[in-house]
Amino acid sequence: MYKYNNYSTILTTIFLFISIFQVLYGAPLSESDKLIVADHHRRWRLEAVPEPNSPIQQLTWNTTIEAEIQAHIDGCAKDSSPGALFGLYSEWKSSSSLSFSLNKTLKSVIDLAPTYDWPNKACLPGKQCTPYLAAMSNASRSFACAKSTKCGLLKTVFLCSYYPAGALPGVDPYKQKVVAPTPTPTTTPKPTTTPAPTTTPTPTTTPKPTTTPTPTTTPTPTTTPKPTTTPAPTVPPTPSPTPAPHPNETDWRTKGILPPVRRQANCGSCWAFGSVAVIESRYILKNGGDPNLLDLSEQQAVGCFPYGCQGGAVWRVFNGLLESGIQYEVDQPYLADNGTCTDNPIKPHIKWSSWNYIPATKDAIIQELKNGPVAAYLATRDTAWSNYKSGIANCQPIHTDTNHVIDVIGYNPVQDYWIIRNSWGSSWGLGGSMLLNASNDNCLMLKYRPAVVHF
């Protein structure tokens, strides 16, 4: 009986402790909490060290982001939020056990400032500075944070997301103020006597040109004998002028740099195929070679990054394989299945030097196309895609989000259409490609930022 009462007391104490914890720390952020979060961000940006070249943009609280990330962490998802996966947000997340301190959590972010290496535009070796970069990026204009205790006993998850995304590889969070060094003044020695000024030398006189020699007499040309009759001259036909190409017209299908059209089969790996095709084509564009002989491994991306055949993001391939590079298809063949993550460092890899997003605007994509194909997101839940065979396709205005990754390989300014390359095999569409109406954005290609790699 004593033991039972003792255990009962212990269980009651634990229950009370958990209840108190839930009361104190379990609720989502209160309005006063949000003010604290916003005030920290305001002060970080006002008091930034090193000093910015111009004031850093102040952030506004975004209730749409707040709702999205609250649902995300309440669902106990271990990966980044959907907005971050699609490159829409940059974000950071903190998990703590037992007591949670909002102020300490926020302070831990700005305390990461010394771990950013400004000269090399990267975190110091072995350091994690991404939360600082996300919070301080001058590219972002709005943000929100959320808190949840639904995913573990006495565990608190805190997440902040920023829009548009900053914290890009190789990009400073803001521009530093450049202070010109003050030169050390040289001491002018005081002469005992004022020296006579040195005489300014007389400039040398430009010599007169030598007299132009009298040219030798031009010999009298021999007289062409006069024909008895003057034949009528043959008038050549006036050639029709070749029209100059439009400065914004691009079609990489005609340049010999595109690999063969691939087929992703029954696996949601469009993100891997779209990314790898850009790597392949831009590698050929930079280094030359036969694009039919270059076949890189989509399976490496599918097997090594979260969700695999259930979906993914372009940035995971471009950034996640930046250091190691990507293997050839022959060394890791496509399975149309998640498989396992394998990367044999002994096998040859192809590496790129950097990658970046480009603005999700029509003009920005048109300009970037001049440098090579672009990986982009769009919506394909439409008969314009399922039934496409030829002509200029036009999506219906029914889409609310994207679900597919393709490569933009050209633009025709005369008829205003994109040239799209898909990963559904060469029997689909125009040999695996599509002409897509660019006069509207019904397919939502401009919703998320496209991306490219550089060699």
Catalytic residues, by residue number, are 270, 404, 422
Comparing CA positions, the residue from 37, 34, 29 lying closest to residue 109 is: 37
Is 422 in contact with 265 (CB distance < 8 Å)? no
CA distances from 177 to 53, 56, 112, 180 (A): 4, 11, 20, 10
CA 111 to chain centre: 27
CA torsion, ordered 296, 302, 305, 309, to nearest 10 deg: 160
Smallest Cα–Cα separation from 375: which of 247, 298, 248, 270? 270
